């Protein structure tokens, strides 16, 4: 059984504990920098840890108990499991473990296959590796960190690694890959501003910035070439967005939200993401192809972050319990729930 510690969520939304959330917005990841620039994130009031706003979150449920089943993943000494994406080839993500060099913790990527196998992903020469996206062929993309900095990578289904660095970038993150081999991600330029990119299967890069944005983070691309992400406007407020393959942009703001992020899109055009309410609590949402938005809160959670959606409507994310401990979960297309646990 995995050791239970007080390590908290370390994902693109930059949540730690309620008391540290505003000050620790994950500067290591692009969205961390985006949210740190959001005035409402930097100075928002803290909410009660047990009374989220919005739809009820299933107060009679217990995270790790009913209605959750368990999905076992063979992750050695995992302290925290963060599922990031999924499709028919499996669930991809990363886990946090104790570092055997210098103390502290480190991240390692993984794929949990439909057949129950666990594939560990460690980029060559990296001190830590995160896996963010997987396509139907089993190709995986993510981010690794070495002595020179942070790089994107592509790991083929056969295990071959290709490092991905946008030319001239200080940092590159590869978030999703579609069936055609197009990769969506984010890079930091020499002026430390963030931009989205799409890399073709041949290795050509195209920069994507939301109109009027001071910073853009690109999180996902579907098989049709549509992309989603988050941008900061001129006032420093964060909004989700959809860009079609033809280049048309749509801003995504959940009604009543102080912050909205669009984090994944499937082949049907369904978009999932995370929004923050006026009490500074986080919730997941699902936006259908017609633009209708429904809030999704994991049963028993005080806060919910949605990270990925598959073409069969399955979702992965992280639920925060009343003790501010994070639990990675999978919600199947039929609504069945499973929590990721390491033996």
CA–CA distance, 276 with 80 (Å, rounded to integer): 23
| pTM, entire model | 0.84
pLDDT on residue 121 = 98
pLDDT tens, residue order, the chain (343 aa) = 232 222 333 334 332 222 222 222 222 222 333 332 333 333 333 222 222 233 333 334 566 667 889 999 999 899 999 999 999 999 999 999 988 777 789 999 999 999 999 999 999 999 999 999 999 999 999 999 999 999 999 999 999 999 999 999 999 999 999 999 999 999 999 999 999 999 999 999 999 999 999 999 999 999 999 999 999 999 999 999 999 999 999 999 999 999 999 999 999 999 999 999 999 999 999 999 999 999 999 999 999 999 999 998 899 999 999 988 999 999 998 889 999 998 7
Neighbour-count burial for 186-211, b at 16+ CB within 10 Å, e otherwise: bbbeeeebbbbbbbeeeeebeebbbe
- State residue 43's pLDDT score: 34
User: 96: closest CA among 6, 217, 160?
Assistant: 6
Q: Are 249 and 211 in contact (CB under 8 A)?
A: yes
**pLDDT for 62:** 60
Distance CA(241)–CA(213), nearest Å, equals 11
pLDDT score for 68: 87
pLDDT in tens, 193-232: 999 999 999 999 999 999 999 999 999 999 999 999 999 9
Q: List 178's β-bridge partners, or say none.
A: none
Per-residue pLDDT at 103: 75
- Determine contact, residues 263/219, Cβ cutoff 8 Å: yes
User: Residue 312: what pLDDT?
Assistant: 87
> In the chain, what are the domains?
30-341 (2.120.10.30)
CB crowding 19-42: b at 16 or more within 10 Å, else e: eebbebbbeebbbbbbbbbbebbe
Which pLDDT does position 150 carry in this prediction? Answer: 96
User: Quick one: how far is CA 190 from the chain centroid?
Assistant: 25
Bridge partner list, 177: 183
């Amino acid at each position: 059984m995995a050791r239970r510690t007080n390590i908290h969520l370390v994902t693109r939304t930059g949540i730690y504990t309620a008391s540290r959330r505003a000050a620790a917005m994950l500067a290591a990841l692009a969205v961390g920098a985006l949210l740190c620039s959001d005035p409402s994130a930097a100075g928002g009031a803290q909410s009660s840890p047990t009374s989220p706003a919005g739809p009820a979150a299933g107060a009679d449920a217990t995270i790790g108990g009913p209605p959750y089943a368990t999905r076992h993943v063979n992750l050695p000494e995992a302290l925290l499991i963060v599922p990031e994406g999924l499709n028919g080839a499996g669930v991809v993500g990363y886990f946090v473990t104790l570092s055997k060099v210098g103390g502290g913790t480190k991240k390692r990527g993984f794929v949990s296959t439909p057949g129950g196998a666990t594939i560990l992903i460690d980029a060559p020469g990296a001190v830590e590796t995160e896996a963010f996206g997987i396509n139907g062929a089993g190709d995986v993309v993510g981010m690794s960190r070495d002595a020179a900095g942070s790089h994107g990578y592509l790991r083929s289904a056969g295990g071959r690694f290709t490092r991905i660095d946008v030319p001239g970038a200080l940092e590159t993150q590869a978030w999703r890959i579609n069936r055609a081999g197009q990769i969506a991600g984010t890079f930091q330029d020499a002026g430390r501003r963030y931009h989205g990119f799409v890399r073709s299967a041949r290795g050509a890069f195209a920069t994507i910035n939301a109109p009027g944005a001071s910073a853009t983070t690109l999180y996902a691309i579907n098989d049709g070439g549509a992309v989603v992400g988050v941008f900061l406007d001129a006032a420093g407020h964060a909004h989700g967005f959809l860009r079609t393959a033809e280049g048309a942009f749509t801003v995504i703001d959940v009604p009543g939200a102080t912050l909205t992020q669009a984090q994944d899109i499937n082949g049907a055009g369904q978009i999932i993401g995370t929004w923050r309410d006026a009490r500074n609590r986080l919730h997941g949402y699902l936006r259908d192809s017609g633009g209708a938005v429904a809030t999704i809160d994991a049963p028993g959670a005080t806060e919910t972050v949605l990270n990925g959606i598959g073409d069969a409507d399955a979702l992965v994310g992280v639920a925060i319990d009343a003790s501010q401990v994070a639990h990675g979960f999978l919600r199947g297309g039929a609504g069945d729930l499973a929590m990721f646990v390491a033996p």
